[in-house]
Amino acid sequence: MAAARAMRLPSHVEIVVVPDLAPRTKPKALNYALPLARGEYLVIYDAEDRPERNQLRRAYGAFQSGPPHLATVQARLNIYNVGDSWLTRQFTLEYSALFDGLLPLLDQLRLPIPLGGTSNHFRVSALQWLSAWDPFNVTEDADLGTRLARNGYRCSVIGSTTYEEAPARFGSWLCQRTRWLKGFVQTWTVHMRRPSALWRALGPSGFLAFQAMVGGTILSALVHPWFYALLAAEMLGGGFLALPSGLLGLPFWGLSWFVLVAGYGAAMALAGIAARRRGLNRLTWQVALMPLYWLLVSVAAYRALWQFVTAPFKWEKTEHGTAAARLRNNQ
């Protein structure tokens, strides 16, 4: 608080003090500030964000040209400290694939979009109708995107980018990713309390998209290391690439290899294509290292599962400002 008050902020900036009561989460702070919003629209930015200059105009234009039930306009997110570490390079590939490839596809198919935590442009009336954010969910954006879809609202993605600072150190990255995945567990658990109601609200395609984007993200991260464990066991036992002895085992053998090649290939190809479209050709060789990054995501997933049981509302803050500090020191 003292640091914020010490800053020379312009006259239109107001500091809002949130009561120091549990849960100490970002959505709780947003809910506290929402009644103070005086306009028809609002936008959420993180402190380290660098949105493109015309983003607010483009978001407003999307609302004006969109349908009345368009509740959210999501900007694309990417990374400005790409070269800080191997983690930031992998993070950039991940964000490029998600925000330049996957989310625009969900938008085109009119499927539920798990929102990013920043650069969300909202219609205030829609937030008020849904009672805003869930203060106990540590990935409030994914939950809100699902609740918007359940209530008949649309989310759209615009071609304007906000650049963020990715954690360059493993410890900071692990805490952030643990929180994200823990929030996905919370979101999936809450909305699947009544699967039939979710099915009716989202429809078959929306229901399956929710399972793939939210439940699938958790499940794939938890299962991924076991694939390597089984692969190692097969290699030690001399059965690697060997055809199954029984006739019934052959289709399962073929299906397993197809899922492996198609799954890895599609994810890596999407990241490579998205990075090249952003002019990040220097990251192309990093695509081959993505499976190693996914193993780290698995570590965060098991940590998230443990925290979901022991500390479900714990918010581990992400360290930011290290990239900016390096830039200042090098000037």
Please choose, from the candidates 134, 92, 48, 116, the residue with its C-alpha nearest in 3D space to the C-alpha of residue 317.
Answer: 48
- Per-residue pLDDT at 244: 60
Amino acid residing at 110:
R
- 175 vs 24: CA distance, rounded Å: 16
Please choose, from the candidates 259, 215, 221, 270, the residue with its C-alpha nearest in 3D space to the C-alpha of residue 103.
Answer: 270
25-323: CATH topology is Spore Coat Polysaccharide Biosynthesis Protein SpsA; Chain A (3.90.550)
- Per-residue pLDDT at 256: 65
C-alpha neighbours within 13 Å on the C-beta side of residue 113: 29
- Per-residue pLDDT at 22: 86
- What are the Cα distances from residue 216, in Å, to 179, 226, 287? 17, 16, 21
Which parts of the chain register pLDDT below 70? 234-235, 237-259, 323-331
Neighbours of 152 (CB within 10 A): 9
- 210 vs 188: CA distance, rounded Å: 8
- Per-residue pLDDT at 11: 85
- Per-residue pLDDT at 16: 87
- Per-residue pLDDT at 319: 79
